[in-house]
Structure 1
Amino acid sequence: MEQSSTAPGATADRDRSPSPPTRRVIDIVSLLATEPEPIPVAVLADRLDIARATATAVLAELDSAGWVVRVPQRGYRIGAALTGLTDPPLPHGVGDILAALTTRTGCGATLSRIDPDRLTVLDVRHGPDRVVPGIPVGHRIPLQFPAGASVMPWRSAAEQNTWLTAAPEVERRTASALLSLVRERGVALFRPRADDTGLVDLLADLLTAAGTELLQSNLRTRVLRQLAELTARPFTRAELDSDTVLPLSYLAAPVFDASGTAAYEVQLGPLRASTTKDERDGYIAAVRDAANALTAASKPGH
């Protein structure tokens, strides 16, 4: 009779564990981390001696968190969110720099890592009057227009081309113009459409009042997706230079790592229905200063 293929010690560990469900998650992640190829659900369940339905449920949660990735027709492998935990630690001064930015502007700020396929929030600092709506540490979004616009002018031509071609066809000319403008000004600014400003204020106030951690995950995702869609119109060159009072959603600037790669972006979220040119220029100066400080903190010996 063929011997069981259960991972050595897995069943015994679960029997002794004070939290068997947690132990199952550990076993699944540990197994995937040691395998160079994707593992089908059936094989994983057999090797760990757990029910296939249980393995499927755990993998679905891990997949939604980015800890594992489903490879069609092949199974699951470790995902970018988990492998990213072994990335070099951020400089110790990151929190202080972001906190100083929020104090200077009164707005919430984030620092995100920009990978070829996604943006991952690494640190969040809430402003004194409004939290960063809906964005928790670890939040990930696909890297496609307009996400990552502040770093894209300094990324490879291949990454730029992928980013541009992934944009909706009606937005590609806007996306291309945005890259030129960001390279010139060193910052990306976004605004809602004029008729969306009131709804943006309402959604942001609701998220602030409820607290992002208190919202159910699926509801937070839906509200955040809607808010992103409403606030993602890039400023044009004419608008940046205009003296007109304009709404302002977010602005972001690139942060360069020790190798000189635009690996991160610092983002500020005023989410204001109206700003003067002087106010916008103040926000631009503040986020640039923070980005420069973060870049300096990334250099060896800092």
Structure 2
Amino acid sequence: MPDRSASPPTRRVVDIVSLLATSTEPISVAGIAERLDIARATATAILTELTTAGWVGRDPQRGYLIGPALAGLPGAALPHDVGAVLAALAARTGSGATFSRIEPDHLTVVDVRHGIDRVVPGIPVGHRIPLQFPAGASVMPWRSAGEQNAWTATAAGADRRTASTLLALVRDRGVAVFRPRADDAGMVDLLADLLGAVGSELLQPHLRTRALRQLAALTSRPFSRDELDSDDALPLSYLAAPVFDASGAAAYEVQLGPLRAEASKAERDEYISATLDAARQLTAALSRATHR
């Protein structure tokens, strides 16, 4: 899916339907607006039309869920535990958390929870991202050699060697950790603060897309083994850990986005611990859902 939507209003309809399709419980208008980072009035207008069409329905507590016109379509909903684990991760760290399904050539965001320390309008539920280095790094060590080779080949120049090294490090540590370059840390802070202050509804879509793309480019340098073990305070962008489905396949990824210009060794270790704990809980939730 292209980064720049040809029709932002249509994109919001798709986002709302995608969110409800992956939820096992009704979601209020406020919850939908918060999860997708859109205005509540916008969410209400779209939901009214979707309700009329039978695409969504409402429960007695005024929560929204997939309606009869779409309920029979294929696609398994995520277990309720997924949202609870993501919310707990965001609360524990104060940072935003996402849960994505990883396909051979793309990843799809299936749940998002905002943090309280810094709210950065990001990629909405249902958005697809090409699976190119470094996206999906946390699952690649557990994918086939063919998928690993195809993924590594998407890295340009010197990054190709970095990609191969990263696979070994992630398999050893169970988590991928990323940072901006040292001279980019201030720009990361500025972009993140501007995006959080302006908000997605007030920023023109193409400008927001460009800002988010630039933010992603500035924050995607993998930590080396020495940096992970360093006692120095270092910039920290985001972390990602694999989540395994009931068959044992690394089918999903949980991602945490502290976006810190500087994080101490103790703080980094806590972020890593929180991300790994969430990944284990999400793996258990997917397994329980399959065996019920």
TM-score range, shorter chain: 0.7 to 0.9
1:134 aligns with 2:122: yes
The structure with more radius of gyration = 1
Describe how 1:175-214 pairs up with structure 2 within 5 A.
Answer: 175-214=163-202
- Report the AA paired with residue 204 of structure 1: A
Partner of 2:107: 119
Partner of 1:12: none
Unaligned runs of 5+ in 1: 1-21, 23-84
CA contact (8 A) 1:125 1:132 kept: no
TM-score calculated relative to the size of structure 1: 0.70
Partner Cα distance (1:301, 1:245) in 2: 44
Pick from 215, 220, 231 the counterpart of residue 219 of structure 2: 231
Partner Cα distance (1:246, 1:86) in 2: 45
Superposition CA RMSD, Å:
1.6
Partner of 1:108: 96
- Report the AA paired with residue 263 of structure 1: A
Which consecutive segments of 4 or more residues in structure 1 shift more than 4 A? none
1:301 aligns with 2:291: yes
Flag the 1:133–1:243 CA change in 2: closer, same or farther, 3 A: farther
Q: Which secondary structure state, in structure 2, belongs to the residue aligned with residue 86 of structure 1?
A: coil
Q: What is the CA-CA distance between 1:216 and the residue it aligns to?
A: 2.8
Pick from 236, 239, 260 the counterpart of residue 272 of structure 1: 260
Describe how 1:35-114 pairs up with structure 2 within 5 A.
Answer: 86-114=74-102
Q: What is the CA-CA distance between 1:211 and the residue it aligns to?
A: 1.8
Partner Cα distance (1:297, 1:194) in 2: 38
Partner of 2:251: 263
TM-score calculated relative to the size of structure 2: 0.73
Partner Cα distance (1:151, 1:174) in 2: 16
Describe how 1:139-178 pairs up with structure 2 within 5 A.
Answer: 139-178=127-166
Cα-to-partner distance string for 1:43-66 (whole Å, 9 max, x where unaligned): xxxxxxxxxxxxxxxxxxxxxxxx
Q: Which secondary structure state, in structure 1, belongs to the residue aligned with residue 242 of structure 2?
A: strand
Q: Which secondary structure state, in structure 1, belongs to the residue aligned with residue 129 of structure 2?
A: strand
Partner Cα distance (1:151, 1:125) in 2: 21
- Report the AA paired with residue 171 of structure 2: R
- Report the AA paired with residue 125 of structure 2: V
Identical amino acids, percent of aligned pairs: 74
Flag the 1:213–1:287 CA change in 2: closer, same or farther, 3 A: farther
Q: What is the CA-CA distance between 1:141 and the residue it aligns to?
A: 1.5
Partner Cα distance (2:202, 2:111) in 1: 19
Partner Cα distance (1:221, 1:115) in 2: 23
Partner of 1:220: 208
Partner Cα distance (1:96, 1:216) in 2: 32
Q: What is the CA-CA distance between 1:177 and the residue it aligns to?
A: 0.2
Partner of 1:49: none
Cα-to-partner distance string for 1:59-89 (whole Å, 9 max, x where unaligned): xxxxxxxxxxxxxxxxxxxxxxxxxx83321
Partner Cα distance (1:144, 1:123) in 2: 21
Q: What is the CA-CA distance between 1:139 and the residue it aligns to?
A: 2.2
Partner of 1:71: none
Q: Which has the higher contact order (CA 8 A, sep 6+)?
A: 2
Q: What is the CA-CA distance between 1:138 and the residue it aligns to?
A: 1.9
Unaligned runs of 5+ in 2: 1-9, 11-72
Partner Cα distance (1:149, 1:156) in 2: 13
CA contact (8 A) 2:236 2:261 kept: yes
CA contact (8 A) 2:96 2:115 kept: yes
Q: What is the CA-CA distance between 1:129 and the residue it aligns to?
A: 2.2
Q: Which secondary structure state, in structure 1, belongs to the residue aligned with residue 235 of structure 2?
A: strand
CA contact (8 A) 1:108 1:131 kept: yes
CA contact (8 A) 2:120 2:193 kept: no
Partner Cα distance (2:77, 2:255) in 1: 19
CA contact (8 A) 2:97 2:113 kept: yes
Partner Cα distance (2:200, 2:81) in 1: 25
Q: What is the CA-CA distance between 1:244 and the residue it aligns to?
A: 0.6
Q: Which secondary structure state, in structure 2, belongs to the residue aligned with residue 148 of structure 1?
A: coil
Partner Cα distance (1:288, 1:218) in 2: 35
Partner Cα distance (2:249, 2:202) in 1: 36
Cα-to-partner distance string for 1:73-107 (whole Å, 9 max, x where unaligned): xxxxxxxxxxxx83321111111100000111111
Q: What is the CA-CA distance between 1:162 and the residue it aligns to?
A: 0.2
Q: What is the CA-CA distance between 1:169 and the residue it aligns to?
A: 2.0
CA contact (8 A) 2:185 2:235 kept: yes
Partner of 1:286: 274
